[in-house]
Amino acid sequence: MKEKIIMANPKIPTTKHKIHHLITERWSARSFADQTIGDSTIETLFEAASWSASSRNEQPWRYIYAKRGSQAFDRMVECLMDGNQPWAKNGSHLFISLAKRKFEHKGQANRHHMFDTGAANATLLMQAAQMDVFGHLMGGFHYDKALVAFDIDNEEYEIACFGVIGYLAAPDALPEPFKSRELTPRTRKAVNEFTTHLEE
C-alpha cells in the first residue's frame, strides 16, 4: 500500500476578514495524485454530507460513486464533457450527485431539492478539506447519457452534478490550459458587490 502523500495547498487566498481556514483551504483542484482514498475516508465524506440542513429534514441528496480502475468509474468519465475528462480521470473517485424531486411524505414536489443537495455537496467538500482531500464539482456532463449509463429515473431524481475527489498533486503533469488554471490565484467578488444592506 502506498503511503499517502500530502502536498501543501498552493492556493490559499488572502481574505479581508478572518474566516475559517477550511473555507480558504477548499478549492476546486484539477491535479490529483496517483493515490487511492480509503473506504473509511470516503464513507466519512458522505456521512458529513448527510448532516447538512434540508427543508423538512427531507435529505433529498443521493450519491452514486466509483473508484478509479473500476468499469463504473470509466463509464462516469465517458459521461463527462471533453473539458473535464483529461484531468477528472486521474481522481481517486468520481461521484454523481442526485436530488430527489419529491418529498417522501405525500409525494409533493420539493422545490428545495437542488438547493439542499448543493448544501450537502458543500458540506462534503468542507469535510474533505479537513482531511486533506480535494474535490471538484462539475456541471459539464452529458445529462441524458448519464441517465442511461446509470439507470437513473429522471422523474424521481435530478442530476445536480458530477464530482471528483482525490489527493492533491503538483500541476506539472497537467496539459494546458488546465496547468495554467491550476496555478492562477483564486479571487472573489468584494462583499459589497453581492450584498445589499437595508438600514431602515
State pTM to two decimals: 0.91
Whether residue 65 lies inside any domain: the answer is: yes
Q: For 63-111, write each residue's pLDDT tens digit.
A: 999 999 999 999 999 999 999 999 999 999 999 999 999 999 889 999 9
Residues 155-192 pLDDT 10s: 999 999 999 999 999 998 888 999 999 888 888 999 99
Output the DSSP codes for 53-121: --GGG---EEEEEEETTSHHHHHHHHHB-TTTHHHHTTSSEEEEEEEE-B-TTTT-B-TTHHHHHHHHH
Per-residue pLDDT band at 3 (split at 50, 70, 90)? very low
φ, ψ for residue 90 (rounded to 5)? -90, -5
User: For residue 43, what are the domain limits?
Assistant: 31-182
Choose the weakest-confidence range: 6-10, 20-24, 57-61, 148-152.
Answer: 6-10
Residues whose CB falls within 8 Å of the CB of residue 93, separated by 6 or more in sequence, listed in order:
37, 42, 65, 66, 67, 68, 73, 164, 165, 166
Tell me how far apart the alpha carbons of residues 187 and 200 are, in angstroms, rounded to a whole number. 32
Cell of 181: 488554471
In a domain, 103, yes or no: yes
Give the confidence band of 7 by pLDDT, cuts at 50, 70, 90: low
Q: Does residue 200 form part of some domain?
A: no
Q: Tell me what pLDDT residue 60 has.
A: 98
